[in-house]
Structure formats: structure tokens, C-alpha cells
């Protein structure tokens, strides 16, 4: 429990500038680091963020933990986003999180665990926490060794590859884009609380993947007035289920585009240009219809 006293040293560091476009669009893995809260004895792999947590897991089997990780520190957290894909509620588990837990003294030996609480969100504002049992580890991440590695060809989405799996149905959610993992700190008993860890304290994030995923939706079109495109017009996309609104401005040819839209059904697209006019049209996107072209004529 030596590290526990240091938990309060956590602080927020924003990594918005670290967002890197993926070379392969629509890969199942996580695409951006949104925020990091450093816990006690954190830091291993921090200089390699955000790419350190992108791509497939680099598991090393049941007896050895991956070092291709970022260490959150005891009590730390990391918030990540899926950009070219979203996690949807499909059959069974939907989200996989890969840590570097390993068995000590043999494949049947006890696990070296550094548990983390898992929260998910569709807008990076409202968060939903997976229920867990701090004594048994059920519902936490960091409780299964990872065997999949790009070098061995194992499919990381297959349960045989290890990692911890989460079902959005357990929270009654249909889709999410953001995930936050929070090291359990001293509140959750694990081996990580009892070992002086240097910079490798707490939960070690290797990778994260959508097992059940979809491309995000998009809504796009042109704003015009009297047949002429209108540049610089402010367009709002309003999901009618109450989720987060978005705002864009038209380009020099009157075009607007909302990407990374959650395909939650009915939306309204609204535009208003002072002294010129306004327009409102409905737009519909769902998992079967991921794109809507909506032209707006100012009146």
C-alpha cells in the first residue's frame, strides 16, 4: 500500500494536440487521447503518447506483461476517443481493453493485477460506469492476460486473445465514442498497490478495440440563397434524442459537413444568417443509413 499516499498528486493534462489521423480509416482500435490524469508513479510510455495506446495490442502471453503500454499511475486515468469508428451494442461484448496483467510462477499462478474502473460516453460529457466488484475484480479492466500480438497473427477481437471485454447492454447503451479508464487506486485492492513501481505504477494501457463497431454517420450539404451558395453561414446539427449539438460554418462554396455523427435517428439541420434568412430541415441517420445529404435554402 506504499503508493496510496501519493494518489492525490494527480493532475489534468490535455492531449488535444496529439490527435493523429489514422493511416487506415475505420480500424477497430482507438484513435485519439483526449485527456490524461497522472496518478502516483505514472509516466512509463508518456513520451510515446498518443500512439502508444493506438493500434492492436502487443500482448506477450500469459507469463509476461507487454511493455508497449502507458502507465496511468495509482489513481490515474486516461480518456480516449474512437473517431473513424464507434462502439455499438451488438451480440455479446462490444468493447475490449488490453492491459498487461500476467500470471506469476506459471500459467495457473496468481495474476499480477492493476485494476481500472471503466466508464463510457457518447459525447465526452455524460459518463456511464460499468458496475464492478472491488474484491473479485469482476467488471474491472486489467484482469485478463493478453496473448494477441501483431507478430503472431492472433485476432485481438477474439476472446482467446485475452484482454477484458465489456457489453454496452449492461449499461443500456446503444453506442459510445469515448472511454475513460481510471486506475482503482487504494480503493480497489490489487497487486499494484503493494509494489513500489517507479514510473510503472497503476493500470498499464496497451490498446482498446471496438468488437462491435460501425463507421460514424455524416450529414452534409450546401447552403444557398437565391441560387447562390452562402459562405460562412453557421449551421447547427441538433439530434432530437437530446444528445450533443454540433456547429459548423459553410466553406467558400456554401458547403458544410458534420462527420463523427452518432447515428441515433432523427436530427434537425438549422441555419440562420442575419439579415438574409433561415432554414430548417430534418435529417435521418441510423446504422443502416450512415449518410444524409441535406441542402438548405435560406428564406
CA-CA distance, 111 to 162, in Å (whole number)? Answer: 13
234 touches 277 (CB < 8 A): no
Binding string, residues 238-267; x marks residues near Ca ion by CB under 5 A: ------------------------------
Closest CA to 71 of 203, 168, 177, 244: 203
3-class DSSP state of 290? coil
Residue 123 or 167 having the CB closest to Ca ion = 167
Residue 37 or 89 having the CB closest to Ca ion = 89
Binding string, residues 107-126; x marks residues near Ca ion by CB under 5 A: -------x------------
Residue 93 or 296 having the CB closest to Ca ion = 93
What are the respective helix, strand and coil percentages of the chain, to the nearest 5?
10, 35, 55
Q: How far is the CB of 95 from Ca ion (least distance, A)?
A: 9
Residue 181 or 271 having the CB closest to Ca ion = 181
Binding segment (CB under 5 A) for Ca ion, from list 43-51, 81-89, 149-157, 247-255: 81-89
188 touches 90 (CB < 8 A): no
**254 is written with which cell numbers?**
456554401
Q: Is 164 near Ca ion (CB under 5 A)?
A: no
**Rg of the chain on CA atoms, in Å:** 22
Q: How far is the CB of 132 from Ca ion (least distance, A)?
A: 17
Q: Binder to Ca ion among 85, 121, 147, 214 (CB under 5 A)?
A: 85
Q: Which residue has the cell 497503476?
A: 202
CA 283 to chain centre: 26
Q: Is 167 near Ca ion (CB under 5 A)?
A: yes
**13 is written with which cell numbers?**
493534462
Task: Tell how strand 70-71 and strand 204-205 pair up.
Answer: antiparallel
Q: Quick count: other Cβ atoms within 10 Å of Cβ 153?
A: 7
Q: Binder to Ca ion among 3, 31, 75, 230 (CB under 5 A)?
A: 31
Binding segment (CB under 5 A) for Ca ion, from list 41-49, 76-84, 171-179, 276-284: 76-84
At residue 121, φ and ψ (nearest 5 deg) are: -155, 150
236 touches 247 (CB < 8 A): yes
Task: Please work out the total of residues on this chain that contact Ca ion, with binding judged by CB under 5 A.
Answer: 11
Within residues 178-237, the interface with Ca ion by CB under 5 A covers 204
Closest CA to 296 of 268, 275, 274: 268
Q: Quick count: other Cβ atoms within 10 Å of Cβ 69?
A: 23
Q: How far is the CB of 100 from Ca ion (least distance, A)?
A: 4
Binding segment (CB under 5 A) for Ca ion, from list 152-160, 168-176, 239-247, 261-269: 168-176
Q: Which residue has the cell 510462477?
A: 105
Q: Is 100 near Ca ion (CB under 5 A)?
A: yes
Binding segment (CB under 5 A) for Ca ion, from list 77-85, 145-153, 176-184, 290-298: 77-85
Q: Binder to Ca ion among 6, 27, 32, 207 (CB under 5 A)?
A: 27
Residue 89 or 122 having the CB closest to Ca ion = 89
Binding site for Ca ion (CB under 5 A): 27, 31, 84-85, 89, 94, 100, 114, 167, 169, 204
Amino acid at each position: 500500500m506504499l503508493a496510496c499516499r501519493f494518489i492525490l498528486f494527480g493532475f489534468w493534462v490535455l492531449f488535444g494536440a496529439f490527435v493523429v489521423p489514422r493511416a487506415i480509416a475505420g480500424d477497430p482500435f482507438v484513435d485519439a487521447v483526449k485527456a490524461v490524469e497522472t496518478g502516483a508513479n505514472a509516466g512509463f510510455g508518456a513520451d510515446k503518447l498518443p500512439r502508444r495506446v493506438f493500434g492492436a495490442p502487443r500482448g506477450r502471453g500469459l507469463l509476461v506483461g507487454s511493455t508497449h503500454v502507458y502507465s496511468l499511475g495509482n489513481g490515474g486515468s486516461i480518456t480516449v476517443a474512437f473517431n473513424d469508428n464507434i462502439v455499438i451494442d451488438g451480440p455479446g461484448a462490444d468493447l475490449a481493453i488490453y492491459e498487461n496483467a500476467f500470471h506469476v510462477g506459471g500459467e495457473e499462478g496468481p495474476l499480477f493485477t492493476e485494476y481500472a474502473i471503466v466508464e463510457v460516453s457518447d459525447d465526452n460529457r455524460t459518463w456511464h460506469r460499468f458496475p464492478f466488484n472491488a474484491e473479485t475484480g469482476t467488471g474491472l479492466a486489467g484482469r485478463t492476460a493478453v496473448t494477441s500480438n501483431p507478430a503472431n497473427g492472433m485476432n485481438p477481437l477474439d476472446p482467446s486473445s485475452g484482454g477484458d471485454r465489456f457489453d454496452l447492454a449492461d449499461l443500456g447503451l446503444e453506442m459510445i465514442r469515448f472511454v475513460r479508464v481510471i486506475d482503482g487506486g487504494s480503493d480497489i485492492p490489487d497487486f499494484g498497490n503493494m509494489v513500489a513501481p517507479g514510473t510503472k505504477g497503476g493500470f498499464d494501457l496497451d490498446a482498446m478495440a471496438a468488437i462491435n463497431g460501425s463507421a460514424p454517420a455524416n450529414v452534409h450539404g450546401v447552403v444557398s440563397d437565391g441560387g447562390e451558395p452562402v459562405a460562412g453561414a453557421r449551421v447547427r446539427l441538433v439530434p432530437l434524442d437530446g444528445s450533443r449539438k454540433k456547429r459548423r460554418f459553410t466553406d467558400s462554396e456554401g458547403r458544410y459537413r458534420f462527420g463523427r455523427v452518432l447515428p441515433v435517428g432523427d436530427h434537425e439541420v438549422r441555419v440562420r444568417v442575419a439579415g438574409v434568412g433561415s432554414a430548417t430541415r430534418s435529417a435521418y441517420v441510423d446504422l443502416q443509413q450512415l449518410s444524409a445529404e441535406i441542402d438548405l435554402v435560406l428564406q
